[in-house]
Each structure stands twice: as C-alpha cells, then as structure tokens.
Structure 1
Amino acid sequence: MFLRKSLALAACVLALSSPVWAAPASTYDFGQPAPASKATRSVEVVMGDMSFTPKAIDIKAGETIRFVLVNKGQLLHEFNLGDAAMHARHQQEMLQMQQSGMMTPTGMMNMDHGSMAGMDHSSQGHAMKHDDPNSVLVEPGKTAELTWTFSKAANLEFACNVPGHYQAGMVGKLTVSQ
C-alpha cells in the first residue's frame, strides 16, 4: 500500500513538473499573415549556412511584405518573425522536433507527428508540427515565401530557430517604424 501511494505521488509530481503544451498563438500583436497578392513590396532574404542576407530589414507599420526566402546553404533553415522571447520559446519546440527524429539537418520528416509515442500533445490542442503562420522552413536549394502585414511599430527579429542556428548568429534585425 505504501509503495502504491508513493508511486502515485511520484506520478503526480512528474505530471505537474512536465512542460505544458499550449496551442500555437493564432494572433500576433505585431501583425498577421496575408496573401501574397496584398504585398506592397517584396524583400528577398538569402539563407546561407548560419547567415541571413540582408542582416537588417526596415519596414513601415501598415506595410504588407512578401518575403522571398532562398536557401543557398546545405542545411534546413527557418525564417521566423518575432521577438527574442518568442524565438527562445520556439527554439525549445524545434529542439523537441529534432530530438523526436521528425527534423533532420536537411529536412523534415512527416509533418504531423501528433501520434508519436511520447510526443502526442493533441490532448492539449497542439500536435508536434511546424505550422506557425509567422514561420516557414526552407530546405537546401529551395525557395519559399512568407507574406506578413505589420500592424504597428516594433523591434523584432527574423531568425532561424533550428537548434544551434540562432546561437551561431542566424538572426537579423527587423525594425517596424510608424
């Protein structure tokens, strides 16, 4: 009986100390996704291995930008819009994706891994997949697009949150002015 109660208590402590998986944010205070047809201008961003060109982008509040993302590197890269805190949170998600085997250095495995053992977070409304509207993954040699309307002035970053890439310098400054 004592052992059963001890095991039950240990299970409760583990459950309470485990990370809570929240549903991805559907709104962003700095703007929202937009169709490419609404873009007021296009900005090409070249992804090298551990670099972005340009390193800084200036935007006016209210602008809709079509980012054309060209991966000229040998590795999988991400273009993600947000602030430093958002990137730090997303880096943890990306690390879990890598550790689960759904992300390799050069690409993604099957995108919907909600049923993977130990990775089923659907009961909390968030299956492990890369589908945030402020982010796109680009495989080596490929081109992708992300179109975004910036609603207000903000100091943001565009970054690659593939494990280790942000820390290696794959981050740029995105200034949205009035």
Structure 2
Amino acid sequence: MSLRHLFCASALAIAVAFSLPVLADAGHGYDFGKPAKADQATRTVEINLGEMYFEPESLDIKAGETVRFVIHNKGSLLHEFNLGSAAMHAGHQKEMQQMMDSGMLTPTGMQHDMSKMDHSKMGHGNMPMGQMMKHDDPNSVLVEPGKTAELTWTFNKATSLEFACNVPGHYQAGMVGKLNVKP
C-alpha cells in the first residue's frame, strides 16, 4: 500500500470515528428530552388537529414528566405533530417540502407506493432505498385525516418549545402551539 493510500485510509478512519458518536446519539433523544414507551407515561394528553389548528393551543409540562400524546386528526388534510424549537421546525419544514415535492406526501396522506414518487426531487441521488428520506423522527408523527397516532416523550429540562405541523404552509397558517416545560 502506498503512503498516499495509507494516509487516505487513516483520514477516513478518523472521520468515521469522530462521526459515530453523533450518529449514535441522533436516535436517542434531543436536548429537551427523549422518546419513551407509552406504559412509562405519567400523563396522557389528547390533542385534536383540525383545519390549521391544534386543540389545545398550549400545554404546560413539568421537567422530568413523561407524557403520552394521543393525536386525533379531525380535519380533511394530512397533519403532523412535531415537538421542537422554532429553529428545529424551520429546518424540518424544508425536509417536509422535499417530501411533498417528491410525491412522498400529498395534501391528504402519505404515498406508500415508492414507484409513484419522483426520486429526482428527494435529494438523495443514487442512494439505496434503505437510506432514502423518511419521516421517522422520534419527536414527530404524521396523522392522516380521520386517523389517530401516539407519541410518548420524556421532557428532561425546563424550556420553551412548540408543537407544530410542518406540512408545507401549515405552520405559516398558524398550526403551531406553545409547550412550556416548567421546573
């Protein structure tokens, strides 16, 4: 092996070693908490989604509390329930727009037939199917019209968050609520 190949292999190994903790941590939680199992919940909160609104519009949670959210879509459009900061929602909205542009999402649902999606608009080039864009963030659920979904979360610190729908245009139309995590 030439010195150049050895150097490249070493640089690649170092890059992988430094990225592994980041990759491993991504699925375990966020700075405001982590996903939990429904049987760990200390409280259940019912959330209704309608045409561009959440009911209730705001929630108070205690730091350390594990909440099971039961989300009912009473509207006629696809909606999302996503926990995060305003900045997180802004970033996620770009991903949701890509999913809509590709045909993965429609105004009323999710496209489950991969052959009907425009993969050129998904930003993954020749990426294998298993690594393609998915809506599988642990702090978020998509809920089709007339359906119910659940999300259980342990809030680990006092902070101000939002719960929002990031389907293109919904956040901007006011589909966002306040979530206050108190000490």
How does the TM-score come out when normalised to structure 1? 0.81
Q: Once structures 1 and 2 are overlaid, which stretch shifts more, 104-113 or 25-34?
A: 104-113
- CA-CA distance at 1:111 after TM superposition: 8.0
* Unaligned runs of at least 5 residues, structure 1: 1-22
Following the alignment from structure 2 to structure 1, what is the Cα–Cα distance between the partners of residues 113 and 43?
30
Answer whether contact 2:102 2:120 (CA < 8 A) is retained: no
The runs of at least 4 consecutive aligned structure 1 residues that moved more than 4 Å come to 111-115
- Higher-helix-fraction structure: 2
The CA deviation string for residues 19-74 of structure 1, in whole angstroms up to 9 with x for no partner, is xxxx7943300000000000000000000010000000000000000000000000
Residues 1:108 and 2:110 are matched in the alignment: yes
Q: Return the match for 1:161 from 162, 166, 171.
A: 166
Question: How much is the aligned-residue C-alpha RMSD, in angstroms?
Answer: 2.4
* Unaligned runs of at least 5 residues, structure 2: 1-22
The CA deviation string for residues 113-159 of structure 1, in whole angstroms up to 9 with x for no partner, is 99923532648x95211000000000000011000000000100000
Residue 173 of structure 1 aligns with which residue? Answer: 178
- Secondary structure of 2:119 counterpart: coil
Paired letter, 1:80: N
Residue 16 of structure 2 aligns with which residue? Answer: none
Paired letter, 2:48: V
Following the alignment from structure 1 to structure 2, what is the Cα–Cα distance between the partners of residues 118 and 165?
21
Following the alignment from structure 1 to structure 2, what is the Cα–Cα distance between the partners of residues 25 and 173?
24
Paired letter, 2:65: E
